[in-house]
Structure 1
Amino acid sequence: MKTSRNGSQNKHKKIFSRYMQEKLAVTVLVITLALFGLAVKLYMLVDEKNEEYTEIVLNQQSSYNSRTLPYRRGDIVDRNGTYLATSEKVYNLILDPNQINKDSANYLETTVTALVDVFGYDREEILSAINENPNSYYVKFRRQLSAEEKEAFEAKAKEVNKQYIDSRSRKRVQGVWFEDEYKRVYPYGSVACNVVGFSFDNGKQGSGGIEQFYNDQLIGTNGREYGYLDAESNMEKVIKSAENGNTIVSTIDTNIQKIVEKYIDEWMNGIGSKTAAVLVMNPNNGEILAMASNRRYDLNDPRNLGAMYTQEQIDAMTEEQKSEAWNQMWRNFCVSDSFEPGSPAKPLTVAAALEEGVIGPQETFVCDGAQEVGGHRIKCVSIYGHGVLSVEQTLMKSCNDAMMQIAARMGVERFARYQEIFGFGQKTGIDLPGEADTAGLIFHADNMGAADLACNSFGQTYNCTMVQMAAALSSVINGGSYYEPHVVKQILNDQGAVVKKVEPNLVRETVSQATSDFVRNAMFLTVDSEEGTGKAGRVAGYKIGGKTGTAQKLPRSANNYLLSFAGFAPADDPQVLTYVVIDTPNLPGKEQAHSTFATEVFQKIMTEVLPYMNIFPDTDVAGTEDESLAAQGEGITNQNQGGLEPGGEAGDGETQAEETEPMTDENGETIPETEPAGEEVVPYDDGLGLPDTVAGGGQTPGEAASETLSETPPAPGPENAPEGQGETEPQ
């Protein structure tokens, strides 16, 4: 019985054991199947979302994000390869608050302290930038740090992190990196500022000068660095390199530019004037070697008005006044401002008449001090008259009377046609922005009266720019070829290969070689002869040709003058032309009217420029440097029918206080003065302080730094004629 009970118990135990085993097996099977299902699900999930999840992880690393690789704006160099504008690599300091906040207890204070220690930044400013953008991967905290500053921080971070690693601390400098950028730099500051111009908007745009005119050549194309995952989820990068801008090789010679600016400054620091400007040009191909005025500014700090105004004046300016001041400071006088040129136009009058055959080289003219034209008496500078003059002497003595006679022979049709041939009333096409439009500031055959013709013959009652006059005179002295003025020689890519060569652009022929030879010799005698008005322009050992100018400005009653001298050397083979303009010297009334102010500036510039250009002295030219300098300021008397005028001055169209009287008509009534054609130029303010103005021709801002707002023809001549505008010399 006992055996039977034990057998039954064993049987139950076996059954229970088998049941538990089966149950355990089922449980294990279920768990195994569940795990297998979970594994399959995880595999599928990872397979489908692998790239997305990996990107989330990698996105915390700034190096994964695709980023811009900035291009380098092209350089601007002078004709000798001297850098006038270049771009230096700098670095933007980027904060990654997201990375810092991943472990702010260990990263935040350590990182902020390192930034403060290296750069001296304000701690609260850094913390604010991080706390205000807690999830951002990119906060541009500082721009344009130097390589030295970047390297200093990287060294500090490496040192601090190594110390914490060695001490088994989790503290780190994290979440700070640097991105590349370029900063525009002008090594010579204000030198040639009006020709070079400056850039803004992080080098994307140019303002003024070559920077603006050739902006499409100077800019490049940004590159990109892309991060992506390959089939095995490995991080890969693709880099599309940036395309850098081209290099502009200008015609400017930095050394000549410095010489020009030195003597402009010397003049302004002495007597000074409203404006003083100089243009140096190769008359044989239109290349501009130097171009400057007293309106200069630091290209590295173009909105600093300190060069023209005191701090007290700047502080008192409204924003509108500052914008106007910037426009004036950035304005290129040589290209953007027009004026009545005065007597440098006389060689053009003689050249046109010779070319048309209305006068002959051996002809003579009688100057009796004035001409009755259109019912008005228009005077010469010598009210007693220069007497009998050869054609050459009409230029040497700068006789208005003879010019009026010559122009009368030509008539309005031919005279107006030659003004067009010489480029007046047209843009020269110079490759600089803001060239003035003078189309409405000259007469044409259909509106030029006899008196207008008379005044135009000696360079009054019409307007031109410096670059227009320089180009016209160059054509007359180089054999008759009118070249388009230009400031760029070549365009190179960033490997230095020539992309474009700017060849001299021969626009037209103006006069014959014979006419050119005659006028060139007459201008040489104007300087070389004791009778000439330009003897102060002599340079020891060189044959110099030139023409003085003393134009009386409007209103005539104010007795303000624009003085000029256009000269060249060597006289028998011109290699360089220099044009000097001095607008309204800081002297009262007719004390301004001394053409030698401009002639002396010319003489000093050429004394340095000619040897620098390896133009050697002419052994046939007599005289020493002392004699050349002594010619400056030496009084020149005028020859006339009655002998020498007491205290007389060289004639170029401006009257002298002791010699002249108001212009009168045939009845002895004073002729009223009126303003010339065209309204006064008004600078355009685009609200950005950029050097742009409204153009008469409808140009967009940034294209015209000085344009007329009206194309109304000039008022009839005698009202606008000077009292006898001409050359005068200091007593």
Structure 2
Amino acid sequence: MVRRRILTSLFVGILIFTSLIARLGYIQLIKGNWLALKAEDLLNREIPVEARRGKILDRNGQVLAMNISSPTVIAIPVQIKDPSMTAKELANILNQSEQKIYKLITKKVLMVKIARKISEEKANQIQALRLPGIAITEESKRYYPEKDLASHVLGFVGIDNQGLAGVEVVYEKLLKGRNGSITFFADASGRKMPNQEETYKPPKDGYTLVLTLDKQIQSFLERELDQAMLKYDAENALAIAMDPKTGEILGMASRPNYDPEHFADYPSEVYNRNLPIWMAYEPGSTFKIITLAAALDEDVISLSDNFYDPGYIEVAGQKIKCWKREGHGSESFLEVVENSCNPGFVVMGQKLGKEKLFQYIKAFGFGEKTGIDLRGEQKGILFDLDNVGPVELATTSFGQGVSVTPIQQVVAVSAAINGGILYTPHILKEVRDPVTNEVLTVIKPEAKRRVISQETSREVRLALESVVAKGTGRNAFIDGYRVAGKTGTAQKIGPTGGYLKNNYIVSFIGLAPADDPQIVVYVAVDNPKGIQFGGVVAAPIVKNILESTLQYLEVAPRKEQITKEYRYGLDIPYVEVPNLIGYSKQQLRQNLYINFNLEIDGDGDIVVQQIPKPGTRVEKGSTIRLYFGDKE
């Protein structure tokens, strides 16, 4: 009996011992690597090293968005000796809840951020306290050196430097980079373990993006929109400048505007709506360019053909009126374009027929998004062809009853005047290495399709140049630069569906030079107070933008252009600036320069320099600035 017990105990002992050896072998040989990694994970501490967000530059390398260092308050809880006192001191400086800070600094973590991207003044105050376990570190903060310039295009970032709008969000993957880290071993309380090496994984900064925008041209757009908002007390205003031969956006602006560094201080509808791509409305007469291009391309009219306008046209029992109540009488189709005569464009649409007209409208890109590399683009609304009757065909012909966006109009008109090619508009021009500045990617122009022939495009340009020289676009005329364009005055639709009274979106689309277009500019002003005509409000704005841009780009003036028809009391004639260099003050007094205002600068007796230069053509009454010096 005793022997049996001994044998049983021995057997059980051997079994237990064997099981322990087997378990130990399993842990050591099979699970050993896995357990080692688990232990390493428990001991590992990783501090992220933030990558710098990529810069955003204009086409000439001017910085539009960059990063600056900004102080951030961090806490290492195990090093804090008096959490209550620490929370109280920090709360006073940071204007935060004492309880919230106390909760943060007593967490069982290695490190916690208390306040991010604070002012230098507050950072200095905290450092002066020398609180144990509290430190100031630097984080990257997005900075826009030009403040609100191109804000709707650039967009903005969140607290973690993540893109939230504009280019910042569209190209987030390129801009954000990849964070690095510092890895070390620490005990359970978070203290660094002795004799253990740190591992540093460097961050990879985001790529530098070069945009198609030109900072100088952008500033011209923004300057004019600011003045328009002030002058006309408008609800909104917008402008686009584009290279018609490539689709590159040279400038894009909206009003109201906002500061991207403080976007939260503005209503969401301001920073969320990039009006040139978001706003869809009836275009009015600027849309007539499409009807004209289609009618010329299909050869259903000639610009020299005759037309009679009694002031209206009857369509399916309805009278469609011309803006000129008494009508324009007998006129050519070129004069129909110059006068923006609605009945004349209705006839163009009728000659085309609804199938052909809408075929061209869609070919010009209306009814679909342009594909611009920005978010929030609308596609507008066109009539379903099955629902287009005689009246719908008529109203569509002069830009009523359809809904389009500004960017669609700029792209379409560019195709109408650049030789007939429709391009995809784009904002990104190049992607560069953040360290070497090497160009990694170049965005090439994307031609979608041919819409009209080169000959038709040439005729369209000549007709639109005549609009500016002789028609409704006279206020956009620039002597020597062959400006072409078209006015637009569109009545707005109210919330109930009817047209609002005395509430219009007035616009003008202009291009120059007409013989070789370098730039297309579109401006729309929403509900300007006072006179509400595109030729009165928007055309002068486009003229100022074009004039500044053409001079900035050093585009040579043309020797030949359509002579402007001046209306007495309405149009200011152009005169040539005389050569006054070498004149004395006595000679200037003897000659009455009634065409100019003279401004004098300098202490000498002789004119040594003048602006504008002699021979320049300017509007009568313009200022000539004279600089006086010695004869030498």
Report the TM range for the smaller structure's normalisation: 0.7 to 0.9
Amino acid paired to 2:468: V
Counterpart among 532, 544, 547 of residue 607 in structure 1: 547
Identity over aligned residues, as a percent?
34
| C-alpha spacing 1:548/1:123, structure 2 compared with 1 (3 Å) | closer
Residue in structure 2 matched with residue 196 of structure 1 by the alignment: 154
Map 1:295-444; keep pairs closer than 5 Å: 295-305=256-266, 325-438=267-380, 441-444=381-384
Contact 2:55 2:67 in 1 (8 A): yes
Shift of 1:93: 2.1
Is residue 520 of structure 2 the alignment partner of residue 572 of structure 1? no
Q: Deviations over 1:155-213 (max 9, x none)?
A: x69xx8xxxxxxxxxxxx64333444211111122111111111114112x22211122
CA distance in 2 between counterparts of 1:633 and 1:193 reads 38
Residue in structure 2 matched with residue 538 of structure 1 by the alignment: 477
Q: Deviations over 1:600-632 (max 9, x none)?
A: 1112222222111211322446999x9999737
| C-alpha spacing 1:250/1:202, structure 2 compared with 1 (3 Å) | same
Shift of 1:66: 1.9
Counterpart among 221, 226, 241 of residue 183 in structure 2: 226
| C-alpha spacing 1:633/1:398, structure 2 compared with 1 (3 Å) | farther
CA distance in 2 between counterparts of 1:433 and 1:633 reads 44
CA distance in 1 between counterparts of 2:373 and 2:100 reads 50
Contact 2:72 2:138 in 1 (8 A): yes
CA distance in 1 between counterparts of 2:394 and 2:95 reads 72
CA distance in 1 between counterparts of 2:422 and 2:541 reads 26
| C-alpha spacing 1:370/1:68, structure 2 compared with 1 (3 Å) | same
Between 1:451-460 and 1:243-252, the stretch displaced more is: 243-252
Is residue 447 of structure 2 the alignment partner of residue 506 of structure 1? yes
Q: Deviations over 1:300-356 (max 9, x none)?
A: 100213xxxxxxxxxxxxxxxxxxx41244311110011111111112111111111
| C-alpha spacing 1:394/1:149, structure 2 compared with 1 (3 Å) | same
Residue in structure 2 matched with residue 523 of structure 1 by the alignment: 464
Q: State the aligned residue count.
A: 525
SS of residue matched to 1:574: coil
Amino acid paired to 1:181: E
Residue in structure 2 matched with residue 216 of structure 1 by the alignment: 173
Alignment TM-score, normalising by the size of structure 2: 0.76
Residue in structure 2 matched with residue 281 of structure 1 by the alignment: 242
Residue in structure 1 matched with residue 571 of structure 2 by the alignment: 631
Contact 1:224 1:240 in 2 (8 A): yes
Shift of 1:288: 0.9
Shift of 1:299: 0.6
Q: Which runs of 5+ in 2 are unaligned?
A: 1-35, 187-192, 575-632
| C-alpha spacing 1:85/1:355, structure 2 compared with 1 (3 Å) | same
SS of residue matched to 1:559: strand
Q: Deviations over 1:382-410 (max 9, x none)?
A: 33332232232121111111111111111
Amino acid paired to 1:92: T
CA distance in 1 between counterparts of 2:571 and 2:139 reads 56
Residue in structure 2 matched with residue 76 of structure 1 by the alignment: 56
Contact 2:509 2:523 in 1 (8 A): yes
Contact 1:250 1:490 in 2 (8 A): yes
Shift of 1:245: 1.7
CA distance in 1 between counterparts of 2:112 and 2:141 reads 20
Contact 1:600 1:632 in 2 (8 A): no
CA distance in 1 between counterparts of 2:406 and 2:331 reads 29
Amino acid paired to 1:176: I
Shift of 1:256: 1.4
Residue in structure 1 matched with residue 116 of structure 2 by the alignment: 143
Is residue 221 of structure 2 the alignment partner of residue 260 of structure 1? yes
Amino acid paired to 2:540: E
Q: Deviations over 1:468-495 (max 9, x none)?
A: 0000000011110111111111122322
SS of residue matched to 1:339: coil
| C-alpha spacing 1:134/1:608, structure 2 compared with 1 (3 Å) | closer
Shift of 1:91: 3.8
Shift of 1:375: 2.0
Amino acid paired to 1:188: E
Alignment TM-score, normalising by the size of structure 1: 0.66
Residue in structure 1 matched with residue 424 of structure 2 by the alignment: 484
Residue in structure 1 matched with residue 66 of structure 2 by the alignment: 86
| C-alpha spacing 1:209/1:481, structure 2 compared with 1 (3 Å) | same
Shift of 1:445: 2.7
Amino acid paired to 1:221: R
Contact 1:452 1:461 in 2 (8 A): yes
Contact 1:540 1:627 in 2 (8 A): no
CA distance in 1 between counterparts of 2:262 and 2:458 reads 47
CA distance in 1 between counterparts of 2:397 and 2:347 reads 9
**Structure with bigger RCO (C-alpha 8 Å, 6+ apart):** 1
SS of residue matched to 1:144: coil
Shift of 1:540: 3.4
Contact 1:90 1:180 in 2 (8 A): yes
| C-alpha spacing 1:225/1:392, structure 2 compared with 1 (3 Å) | same
CA distance in 2 between counterparts of 1:251 and 1:629 reads 41
Contact 1:596 1:632 in 2 (8 A): no
CA distance in 1 between counterparts of 2:562 and 2:336 reads 25
Contact 2:51 2:204 in 1 (8 A): yes
Contact 2:104 2:112 in 1 (8 A): no
Shift of 1:250: 1.0
Map 1:121-136; keep pairs closer than 5 Å: 125=98, 129=102, 133=106, 136=109
Q: Which runs of 5+ in 1 are unaligned?
A: 1-51, 161-172, 306-324, 635-731
Contact 1:596 1:633 in 2 (8 A): no
Counterpart among 495, 503, 507 of residue 560 in structure 1: 503
Contact 1:338 1:465 in 2 (8 A): yes
Contact 1:112 1:123 in 2 (8 A): no
SS of residue matched to 2:391: helix
CA distance in 2 between counterparts of 1:519 and 1:607 reads 22
